[in-house]
Amino acid sequence: MENASSESLNSHQGDRSLPPLQPNLLPVPTLPAPDEPKEDWNVKQLLAMVRRRSLVIAGVAITVMTFMSASTLTEQPVYEGQFQLLVEPVNSSDRNVSELTSGSSGSSGRSELDYETQIQVLRSPELLTDIAEGLQDAYPGLGYESIPGQLSISRLGKTKILEIRYQDTDPARVQAVLKQAAQEYLEYSSKERQTNLRQGIQFVENQLPSSQERVDQLQQDLQAFRQEYNFIDPASYAGQITSQVESLTQQRQTVEQALSQANFRLNNLKDEAGAIATLNNSPAYQQLVSQMKQIDAEIAVELTRFQEQNLAIQVLREKQRNLLPLISQEAERIVGTELAAVTTEIRALEVQRQAIDQAQQKLNQQIQQLPVIERRYNDLQRELQVTTESLNRFLAARENLQIEAAQKEIPWQVVREPVQPGAPISPDVKRGLMMGCFAGLAAGLGAAFMLEKLTDVYRTAEELQQHTKLPVLGAIPWYSHLASIQSQFFLDSDKLTSEERMSFSSEEMANRRSLMQTLLPGNTLDDSSIFIDALRLLHTNIQLANLGQPIQSLVVSSAGSSDGKSTIALNLARTAAEMGKRVLLIDADLRHSQLHTWLNFAHPKGLSNLLIGESSLSDVIQKPLESVDLYVIPAGQIQADSTKLLSSYVMHYLMDDMLQSFDLVIYDTPSLIGLADANVLATRTDGVLLVVRLGKTERSAVTQMLTSLKLPKTPILGLVANGV
């Protein structure tokens, strides 16, 4: 079979008239876009992270726990003491006089003391300095600056009691400071309140004259303002103006209507039809017209009996001629009289309209002044109200302060005396150790989580499938024995030149080939091993990936150069051969080939030599194992322009010819990122198998790899998660 394939290929290499081959390509599925990395963390992912970063978690946790535990155990003991002050009367009977100052009996249950302000006053430098000076004899080194940070004052809930606490490393000094503070606070309460009352009364007395004077002045201003505009309230004044405006508007509408009618009559009189209508309404004119009609009738009757020259007819004609001037004169008189009357009416209406317009203009000016008047009035009213209220408050405050100053002073009382503390409040060893454990664990988990975020790689096959939306056909476990043998063999063989390999004796070749056997599954592992089962499952899933049609050729590639694609390709080919298939593995990585080194082939000839015509198929195809039907075509000599060779007509013919001779052809190609070699071959195969190294291959590299497959519409069989 090998000779036949070689002769066929060699014969076609010299034939330039062959028609182009049409490869039988699979339908290209739509390549899904990788999802953005999600931030969700489930329990399974968290446990996996803990397993991966157990050393980091343990190291950080132990360090933090040790530091916090040591800090707790070496911390100096701190003691705390306290005393309590009653700062307001307890019973309502003690506040009967105070109720008079508040203005209502219902305020007795409400506190009149601003506790927040009072606490700040008690912590003021003046009072704390007095406390420190009172302790100079017993504790000369105690200064004001050391008290505020250790002294705390708070109100007990909603009570009228202030609790004063002080912390120090010396229990005796705690008691001494608290006693001195109680004494200073009681003295402050007895003299400060009287001082405040006297100052308050004096302040009110000083403010009353100016407030009264201001109220009087504002009342005079308001009175003058009302007299100026002759109104009491701007609202009623505005109502009067509005009523006048409405009345004038109605009058103007009436005048406009009458003027329109007068103009209409004037125009009618100037028109012939209008003049006739006016004449028709005149009795005198109608009487003359009737006489004319009567004469015309008599003439008509006489003409039926006599000739025109008859004396009777001539007399009637004379009457007719005399009556015509009278009719004309009467018509002119009537129309002229009507025109004069209408003109006079129009002039009177226009004068009336002008008077209304002047009145409206004056009212409009008053309306425009209304906002200013109203604003000024409101300002005066508001200022007067505020000033009056201020005056009333001053008067009420003076009475209240005078009553409060006259009543019996109720001083503050110490309800709990300061005592020397016995046991320290810190350090709490048990709590400190527990906090150290929790903080250490949290810091360890946080450090592990940050490392996970900074490492942009896939950790599990499920994560890989979820991100890429592509099926994971196989999850190959990490087999350390296989990796160590492969690394050892690679380092040993990589030091040998091609001449040294050619000089190996048959026994040396057999020994090295025997060593290579351990690289392939089935020798160092039993058939039940996880590694072999994973490879067999991968082979089965590949065959099922094409909807029932067998896969005859595929490309194995990856995003990077160290993802294990060559190892997957070699072991997948061996697994397929062990399952009874005739398999050909072609090393199409013409840039950085490794298979020929791993398999310890004696000569470097391979695919590149075959494509450029230096060697025949029988010269380059080799069978590394006798027990299975596995054949290998190594890469051959490194070529600078490998893409051109892989896309040549000879390579296309070789790919189609090998499909006739083998059940499965596997192409081990360079990585997809930055190179077109894998895409050139994948488009003429049943699909590409992408290898992703878990824990190593970066997400961005996988995304870039999938993006490079979109343009040529390369069919993708699925993914292989390597190193589970």
pLDDT of residue 37: 46
Strand partners, 698: 457
pLDDT at 695: 81
- Other CB atoms within a 10 A radius of the CB of residue 408 amount to 6
492 and 435 housed in the same domain: no
Give a yes or no: residue 301 inside a domain. Answer: yes
Is the pLDDT score of 587 beyond 80? yes
* 650: Cα separation from own chain's centroid: 57
What dihedral angle (degrees, nearest 10) is formed by the CA atoms of 234, 239, 245, 248? -130
Provide CB contacts within 8 A for 559, sequence distance 6+: 671, 672, 673, 690, 692, 697, 698, 701, 702, 704, 705
Q: How far is Cα of residue 494 from the mean position of the Cα atoms in its chain?
A: 56
Q: Are residues 641 and 710 in the same domain?
A: yes
pLDDT at residue 362 greater than cutoff 80: no
pLDDT recorded at residue 60: 84
> How far is Cα of residue 134 from the mean position of the Cα atoms in its chain?
60
Q: Please count the CA atoms within 13 angstroms of the CA of 310 that sit on its side-chain side.
A: 13
What span, in angstroms and rounded, lies between the C-alpha atoms of 530 and 517? 18
Residue 507 pLDDT greater than 60, yes or no: no
Query: What count of residues does the chain have?
Result: 724
Tracing tokens 């039940």 back to the chain, one arrives at 528
* 445 and 299 fall within a common domain: no
Q: Is the preceding peptide bond at 427 cis, omega within 30 degrees of 0? A: yes
Residue 305 and residue 334 in one domain:
yes
Same domain, 480 and 339: no
Residue 492, pLDDT > 50, answer no
3-state secondary structure of 610: helix
Residues 386 and 512 occupy one common structural domain: no
Residue 402 or 556, more confident: 556
Closest CA to 571 of 632, 496, 508: 632
Q: Which of 399, 419, 443 is the last residue of a domain?
A: 399
Strand pairing class (161-168; 151-155): antiparallel
Query: Does some domain include residue 110?
Result: no
Pick the range with the lowest mean pLDDT from 72-86, 505-519, 671-685: 505-519
Given a contact cutoff of 8 angstroms between Cβ atoms, the answer to whether 279 and 332 are in contact is no
504 has a pLDDT exceeding 70: no
Q: Which of 204-218, 427-441, 565-579 has the least mean pLDDT? A: 427-441
> Is 502 within a domain?
yes
Q: What is the pTM of this model?
A: 0.45
The dihedral through the CA atoms of 375, 376, 381, 386 has a sign that is positive
Confidence class of residue 273 from pLDDT cuts 50, 70 and 90?
Answer: low
Strand partners of residue 690? 557, 719
Closest residue by Cα to residue 295 from 275, 323, 267: 323
- Top-ranked range on mean pLDDT: pick from 41-50, 55-64, 554-563, 635-644: 554-563
250: nearest Cα among 397, 109, 359, 147: 359
| Cα dihedral 502/503/507/508 (nearest 10) | -80
Are the C-beta atoms of residues 14 and 613 closer than 8 Å to each other? no
517 and 436 in a common domain: no
d(CA 381, CA 226): 12
- pLDDT band per the 50, 70, 90 thresholds, residue 674: confident
Q: d(Cα 241, Cα 252) in Å, to the nearest integer?
A: 16
Same domain, 612 and 487: yes
Pairing label, strands 79-86, 161-168:
antiparallel
CB neighbours (10 Å) of residue 699? 20
675 in the same domain as 648: yes
CA 282 to chain CA mean position, Å: 92
Mean pLDDT to the nearest integer, 40-54: 71
Residue 455 near residue 72, CB atoms below 8 Å? no
Instruction: Give the model's pLDDT for residue 482.
Output: 57
Locate 20 and state its tokens: 């182009």
353 within domain boundaries: yes
Question: What pLDDT does 584 receive?
Answer: 95
Q: What proportion of the chain, given as a percentage, has pLDDT over 70?
A: 75
For residue 622, the domain's CATH number is 3.40.50.300
DSSP 659: H
The alpha-helical segments, DSSP class H, found in 149-271 are: 171-229, 234-270
Q: Is the pLDDT of residue 35 over 60?
A: no
**Do 513 and 583 fall into the same domain?**
yes
> Tell me, what's the pLDDT at 664?
94
* Residue 393: how many other CB atoms lie within 10 Å: 13
- Copy the structure tokens of residue 662: 């083998």
Query: Any idea which residue has 């599925």 for tokens?
Result: 29
Any idea which residue has 């006599």 for tokens?
306
Closest CA relative to residue 233, chosen from 372, 377, 62, 65: 377
* Location of structure tokens 């009691």: 161
Name 400's Cβ contacts closer than 8 Å, sequence gap at least 6.
Answer: 100, 101, 102
Whether 684 shows a pLDDT value over 50: the answer reads yes
Q: Is the pLDDT of residue 496 over 60?
A: no
Same domain for 57 and 32 = no
Has residue 13 been placed in a domain?
A: yes
What pLDDT score was predicted for residue 488? 45
For the chain, the domain total comes to: 3
What is the Cα–Cα distance from 352 to 381, expressed in whole angstroms? 42
Is position 691 within any domain?
yes
Per-residue pLDDT band for 654 (boundaries 50, 70, 90) equals very high
Phi, psi of 513, rounded to the nearest 5 degrees: -65, -35
380 part of a folded domain: yes
pLDDT score for 689: 93
What is the token pair recorded at 232? Answer: 């009491």
Rounded distance, CA 130 to CA 60, Å? 49
Question: Tell me, what's the pLDDT at 296?
Answer: 78
- Indicate whether 74 pLDDT > 80: no
283 in a structural domain: yes
**pLDDT confidence band for 663 (50 / 70 / 90):** very high
**Higher-scoring residue by pLDDT: 578, 189:** 578
Q: How far apart are CA 620 and CA 615, in angstroms?
A: 7
Query: What's the average model confidence in pLDDT over 42-51?
Result: 73
Inter-residue contact 559 to 689 (CB < 8 Å): no
pLDDT over 80 at 575, yes or no? yes
Residues 265 and 345 placed together within one structural domain of the fold: yes
| Residue range 465-476, pLDDT digits in tens | 888 888 989 888
Segments forming the whole domain that contains residue 70 = 52-74+428-454
Distances (CA, A) of 403 to 21, 96, 408, 642: 117, 11, 10, 108
- With a CB cutoff of 8 Å and minimum separation 6, the contacts of 380 are 218, 221, 222, 225
**Each residue of 391-401: pLDDT tens digit?**
888 888 878 87
Q: Are 420 and 171 in contact (CB under 8 A)?
A: yes
pLDDT, tens only, 109-168:
455 678 898 889 888 888 888 888 888 888 887 877 878 888 889 999 888 889 989 888
Strand pairing category for 630-633 and 716-722: unpaired
9 to each of 342, 442, 574, 603, how far by Cα in Å? 126, 67, 25, 21
Tokens of 96: 């009967």
Instruction: Retrieve residue 596's tokens.
Output: 């020929």
Query: For all residues of the chain together, what is the average pLDDT?
Result: 75
Q: What is the DSSP string of 48-95?
A: HHHHHTHHHHHHHHHHHHHHHHHHHHHPPPBEEEEEEEE-S-SSGGGG
Q: CA 304 to CA 548: how far, in whole Å?
A: 132
Report whether pLDDT(18) > 50: no
Q: Can you tell me the mean pLDDT for 553-558?
A: 93
